Amino acid sequence: MAYINLFKITILLSILFIIPPIAHANINNKAIKMNKERILKEINANYSEWDINHYIELDDDLKFISAFEEESKQANYTVNKLQIVSILENTLKKLDVGLKLKYEISFRDTFMDNSYSNNPMTEVYNIILTEDENQILEKKADIAITISQLQDIKQAYLQTQQRFIYFLNASYSSTLCQFRKIDNFGTYAVKSTRMKGDFMWIYKNMMVQIFNNSMPELSLKIANMFQEEVEHELKKLHE
């Protein structure tokens, strides 16, 4: 009888010690989710409940929401669209591997909730690697640069984040994520797990995508040098 009572006491004590950590973990998880919901609603107040839950699930894999929150807190400078061509040209010159720049197209999407005229413009350029002075085409990659030019700096950041989420989600599969997070690059960056050398990143009010890439060995060098040039230009403007 004493053995049975001792067994009951042991079970009771185990329950008392196990339940509080579980309850605490549940409270923490709920708080984390509520904070993510708040951040997403700030990015786009019109996100539906389904959108919010879906993007939180996406964030479980790719961890972008906290990076976006930190960037928005420090909203200070914006990249000017007029600077981009010279920044790209300087980037390619510094790499010095026979790269040439060719302008392709520009377009404005209508997927956002705000007016068409306020949607950010995307400029697409073709980076060509030539093998000799006769400019025989050897390899190429497309680079699409989207810059929000809203007057309010924080809103420009949020609009760019919204666009990034849109493209991230468009390339996401519930069974196999097509991107993996890259650390220490831009504000937030992801690399394609299916297309070698294709990736995209966000920095301040700018989103950059490298795709249709036949020179993956150079794409990361181009991206890193481009990021350095952008930071250099911003520093010059605000010294």
146 in a structural domain: yes
pLDDT of residue 11: 55
Per-residue pLDDT tens over the stretch 143-186: 899 999 888 999 999 999 999 998 888 765 544 567 888 887 88
CATH code for the domain of 117: 3.40.1000
Per-residue pLDDT tens over the stretch 182-231: 887 888 999 888 777 788 899 999 999 988 888 888 888 888 889 899 98
7 in a structural domain: yes
- My answer on whether 20 and 118 are in the same domain is no
- DSSP secondary structure code for residue 135 in this structure: -
- My answer on whether 125 and 47 are in the same domain is no
pLDDT of residue 194: 78
Domain with 42 in it: 2-63
**pLDDT for 76 beyond 70:** yes
Given phi > 0 = left and psi -120 to 50 = alpha, else beta, which region is 238? alpha
Quick one: pLDDT band at residue 73, thresholds 50, 70, 90? Answer: confident
80 in a structural domain: yes
Map tokens 């993956």 to a residue: 216
Q: Is 212 exposed, middle or buried (0-12, 13-18, 19+ CB in 10 A)?
A: middle
Please identify, among 41, 63, 85, the residue that sits at the C-terminal boundary of a domain.
63
Write down the pTM of the prediction: 0.80
Share of the chain above pLDDT 90, in %: 22
- My answer on whether 19 and 94 are in the same domain is no
- DSSP secondary structure code for residue 172 in this structure: B
- My answer on whether 198 and 138 are in the same domain is yes
- My answer on whether 219 and 107 are in the same domain is yes
- My answer on whether 79 and 9 are in the same domain is no
18 in a structural domain: yes
Q: Where are the alpha helices (DSSP H) in 44-129?
A: 49-62, 65-73, 84-95
Domain count for the chain, please give it: 2
